[in-house]
Amino acid sequence: MGMTETLAGKRVLKSRVTLTKWGCSYADVSLDGEHTLAGSVELVMRDLTMQCAVLVGGPDKGRSAYRVVGGRGGLGKPLPPWSYSNDAGVKVATVLREAASLAGEELDTSTVPTTLRLGGNFSRDGDTTTSDLLERVAPAAWYVGEDGITRIGQRQRVELTEKVTIIERDRQRAKIVVASESLAKLVPGVVVDGMEAVDVEHESSAEKGVRTTLWGMRGSNDGSRGLSALKALVDHFVGARIRECRSYEYVVVKRNGKRLDVKPARSSSGMPPIKAVRMWPGIAGAYAELELGARVIVRFLENGEAVVTNFEDAEGEGFVPNKLVFADGGDLNGIVRQSDTLTCPAGAVAIVTASSKVKCG
C-alpha cells in the first residue's frame, strides 16, 4: 500500500504524528502546495483518522507547514474567571463540563465520576485553562482521543493481533520501531512484542514511507523479579537524581510571562508537566516568545530547578518564534532573513517578529 495521507483533504508530503497516553496528541505536517488552513481539520494517515485543530503554521514558497493538536484547539486557552459554591461539594463533572463548553471542546461526561467533588467552594482565575483543570482533578489521567473527544481515565490496554514487521527493538530504551500497512490500532495502550505502548509516533515521507515508533514506560516490569527489585532499590535512593541529570524533550503549552508552562513530549519519559520554567537559551541578551506547541529541551540545575536550554531546529514548526528580542547587539535595519547578521546600536533593543519586520530603538 502506498502512502495515503491528507490534512483537510490536502496531500501531505511528510509528517510526524505523536499520540500520547495522556493530554493532547499533536502532529507536524508538510503539505504539497500553498494552502491556508484554520480551525478544525481532519488528518488521515492510511486507516488512521485524527480529528484535530490548527495550532500554528501557514503557506510558504509552494508548500505549507502546520502543527495541529488533537481536539478543537481550545484546551490551552484561558477561561474567564468564575467561582462555584455548593455546601455538598462542587462537582468535578460540572466544572469540567462548563470549562470544555467554553473552550469549544467535546468532553465525554460519562468518563467523569459523578461522586468526585472539589469541596464547598472552588474558583478559577482568568489565567486558568481547561487543561489546567483536567490536570488538577486527574493528573496524567486524561487524554484527547483520535476522535477529538476528551476523556478522563487511562487508554485501554489491547493486544495487537494484526501482523507488523519489527525493524528495531531496544529493550533498554523501551522502544520498538515497526512497519505496518494498518495504523488504526497502533495507538497508546497497544501491546506489541510484550511491550505496552505509552507513546506512538508515526513518521511518513515519500522517501521512507511510514514508520511507527512505540515507546514503553521506562523502568516497567521486564519479567525479572530480581532485576525489578534492584531497579526499585536504585530508584529509591538515586533515581530522582539520575533523572535530573538528563535532558528531556518538552512541548510549550502556555506562555507564562517570560516563562513557559511545558508538558513532556512523550508520556513514556515519566516526567511531569512543569509551570513557569525559565529560559536559559545560551545566547546573552536574547529572548524568544515561542509559539505554542514548540518543542524545547528541559534540563535541571543542581538545586533541582528546571530550565529551558534548547529550542526546536529549523525543520520543526516551532523553529520561528512569535517574537525574538535582542538586547545590546550592534547594527540592525530592514528585513531580517536567516542568513542576515543581527546587530543593533549599543543599548538598543531589536524586536524580530515571525513576519520578519524589525524594529530597533
Query: Rg of the chain over CA atoms, in angstroms?
Result: 22
Sign of the Cα pseudo-torsion (94, 99, 105, 111, in order): negative
Taking residue 80's Cβ as centre, other Cβ atoms within 10 Å add up to: 9
Residue 87 has pLDDT above 80, yes or no: yes
8 A C-beta contact, residue 174 and residue 195: yes
Start-end of H helices in 59-129: 92-103
The pLDDT tens digits of the residues spanning 233-268 come to: 445 444 455 455 678 999 998 888 889 999 888 888
Is the pLDDT at 217 greater than 60, yes or no? yes
Q: Is the pLDDT of residue 92 over 50?
A: yes
Task: Determine the Cα–Cα distance for residues 356 and 178; give it in Å rounded to an integer.
Answer: 41
Confidence of residue 114 (pLDDT cuts 50, 70, 90): confident
User: What is the Cα–Cα distance from 211 to 181, expressed in whole angstroms?
Assistant: 10
Residue ranges per structural domain of the chain: 82-144, 222-280+290-304
Q: What is the pLDDT of residues 332-348, one digit of tens each?
A: 333 344 434 444 444 44
Distances (CA, A) of 257 to 56, 57, 295: 20, 23, 18
> Half-sphere exposure (CA, 13 Å, Cβ side) for 213?
14
Which SS3 state, helix, strand or coil, does residue 169 take?
A: strand
- Cα–Cα distance between 257 and 276 in angstroms, integer? 8
Average pLDDT over residues 204-211: 90
Determine contact, residues 155/21, Cβ cutoff 8 Å. yes
Mean pLDDT for 44-64 is 93
Average pLDDT over residues 135-151: 94
